[in-house]
Amino acid sequence: KEERIVELETENAILHLKLAEYQERVGRSRREATWFYALLNGQQQWPSSAHPALVQICHLIQKLKQDVKDFRSSFLDLLSSCQAQYQEQLSNMAAAIRRAQLSTENLQACQSEILHLQLSLKEMDMRYHVEKQRRRELHNTLVELKGNIRVHCRIRPLLPLDCELDDPILQNGSDSREVAHAVDEETILVRCDRPGHPLINKTYNFERVYGPAEPQTAVFADVCPLLTSLLDGYNVCIMAYGQTGSGKSYTMLGPELPSDAHSDLGLIPRAVEEFFRLISENPSGSPKVDVSILEIYNNDIFDLLAKDSSTVVSGVKRDVVTTQDGCTEVPLLTRGAITSVLEFMELFHQGLRLRAKNPTLVHADSSRSHLIVTVTLTTATSLASTDQQPGQTLPGKRTRASERWSSAHQASPPGSVPVDPVGSRKQVWSRLQLVDLAGSECAGMSGVTGLALRETSFINRSLAALADVLGALSEHRGHIPYRNSKLTHLLQDSIGGDAKLLVILCVSPGQKHVAETLQSLGFGTRARQVKRGQARKKSPHSQIREWCLGSA
C-alpha cells in the first residue's frame, strides 16, 4: 500500500511538471495570439502570402487549448482518484495497525497463559513422578511385607525371524505380526486376531514392563536396589524366564558377539560391577567375595569352574543335598575368590565356554542348560555392635543359615553364641544368585531331533517343575515339590526361602510365538501370587552352620 502511495505521488509530481510546461506553452500561445489579433486589426502588416500559415497556427492554438482543457480535466480526475485511494489506504493501514496491536496483546496474553500452563505442567509432572516413586516404594514395601516375588516383563524387539513369509501361522493372516505391546510401565497387552482362531485380547500387570526400545540400562536401574539389599545382609536371586529366543541370555549376559558398548552389558556383569562399587564405598567388615558357576544340563548339575587333575577347567558333575536344617547346598562346589570385576569376568567367561549350547530353528545359539552364577559376600561383624547379648537365642522361627563363623569347624554348645578365636568378631554370609534359565521350547517349531530333542524334554520338564512349585506356594499346599527337579531343589532357598526374588519374564512380540508368550505371562502371574512372608536380614546371632565347599 505504501509503495502504491509513493507511486501515485511520483506520478502526481510528473503531472505537475507537465502542467507547468503546458501552461508556459499556453502563455506563449496567448502572446502570439494577441500579436496575431493586433496584426489582423491592422496594427501589423503581413504579406498576403502569410495568411494560410496564420490560419493553420490559429487551428493549432485552438487544438492546444482543447488539449490543455482535457489534460486539466484528466489531471483533476486522477488527482481526486489518487486522493481517494490514498485516504482508503491510510484507513486500511490504520485498521491493520489496530488489528496488529490487538493481535500483539492477544499473543502476549497467550504467551503468558502458555508459560503459566508450562509451569503448572512441569509442577504436575514433578508431583506425578514424586507420587509415582512413592507409590512404587509403597508397593515394594508391600511386596516385601507379603514376601511376594517381584516379576518384571521385557518385550524384545521384533526380529526378521518372527516375520518369515513362509510361516504357516502368518500365511493368509492379518498384517498385525506384533501381538505383545507395552501399554505402560506396569501393563502388557497381548492382542491377536488370526483367521480361524478365537480373538486374544488379554492384559497382564507386573511390577515393571519394558518395551522393545528400552535399553539394558533401564532394566538394570530397577535391579540396583536389590544389590543394596545384598550388602544390607539379604539374600537376593534374579532369574530370567521365557521361551527360547526371547532374549533371556541377552538380558542376563549381554550380546553374543563382543561389544565395546557398555550399554549392551547384561545384568550379570553390571550387577557385579555395581556390587564392587558399593563395597568400595563401604569397605568396613573386611568384605570377601567369591563366585561359583554351575549349569543344570539334562537334570544334572555341572560345576563349570571345577578343574581336572591337569588343572584344566573341564566341568565336573555335582549333586545337590538337603542339610539337617532344611537348607540346600552343593558339596565340593568350586568357589573362586575375586577382588575385582576383571577377575570375575575371567572366571565368568571360563564357565560360559563350557555351557551346553545347540542351534535350533528358533535360535542359532540356543542355551541347552540352566546357568546359575552365585556371588557370595562374607563380612566380619562385631559382636559388640549387635543388640542381642551373648548367649541369648533368637525367638520365633529359625532362619535358613546364611552365615558361618571364621573359627575352625567346631560345634558350639546348645544355646550359646560361638565367638571367633579373637573373641569379638564373626562372619556374616549373604549371596546373590543370577540365573539364566534355558528357554521353553515347542519341538515342532524349534525343529530339534535326537540329542537336542532330549535336551528340550529335560528343559521343559524342569520349567514345568518350577511352575508346579510356584503353584504349590501360591496355593499354600502342605507339600511343595522342590525335589521333582534339580533346578527347583537347588533354588529351594531362593524360591521358597527368605531371599528377595526377582523374575524377569522375557517374551517375544511375534504372532508366531503368541502361545509361548501367553504361557510365560501366565507363569509370571502365578509367581506374583506367591506370599512367602517378609525376607529376613542375616543377623550375626541367627542359627549358624558350616558350609563344606571346595575352593578354587
Q: What is the pLDDT of residues 260-284, one digit of tens each?
A: 667 789 999 999 999 999 898 877 7
Predicted confidence band at 421 (pLDDT cuts at 50, 70, 90)?
very low
How much is the pLDDT for 475? 87
Q: Is 20 helix (H, G, I), strand (E, B) or coil?
A: helix
Rounded CA separation 188/459 (Å): 26
In this predicted structure, the answer to whether residue 107 has a pLDDT above a threshold of 80 is yes
Phi/psi zone of residue 254: left (φ > 0), alpha (ψ -120 to 50 degrees), beta? left
Q: What is the pTM of this model?
A: 0.67
Q: Cα separation of 349 and 142, whole Å?
A: 38
Q: What is the pLDDT of residue 162?
A: 74
- pLDDT score of 42: 58
Among 70-74, 172-176, 216-220, name the one with the lowest average pLDDT.
172-176
| 51: its cell numbers | 495568411
246 is in an annotated binding site: yes
Q: Which of 259, 369, 233 is nearest to 303 (CA)?
A: 369
243 is an annotated ligand-binding site residue: yes
Cell numbers at 310, concatenated: 591337569
Residue 454's identity, in one-letter code, is R
Residues 378/429, Cβ–Cβ less than 8 Å:
yes
Burial 196-224 (b: 16+ CB within 10 A, else e): eeeebeeebebbbbbbeebebeebbebbe
537 annotated as a binding-site residue: no
Place 355 in a pLDDT band, splitting at 50, 70 and 90: confident
322 labelled as ligand-binding?
no
| pLDDT at position 322 | 87
Q: What average pLDDT does range 436-441 have in this prediction?
A: 87
Q: Could you give the CA distance from residue 292 to residue 305 in angstroms, rounded to a whole number?
A: 7
Start-to-end C-alpha separation, the chain: 93
Res 404: pLDDT: 38
For residue 47, the model assigns a pLDDT of: 56
Residue 353 CA to residue 341 CA, distance in Å, equals 18
Beta bridge pairs of residue 155: 507
Q: Is 249 annotated as a binding residue?
A: yes
pLDDT at 270: 94
| 551 marked ligand binding residue | no
DSSP letter at 180 equals: E
Taking residues 476-503, report their average pLDDT. Answer: 90
- Round to whole Å and give the CA distance between 350 and 308: 14
Contact 520, 246 (CB under 8 A): yes
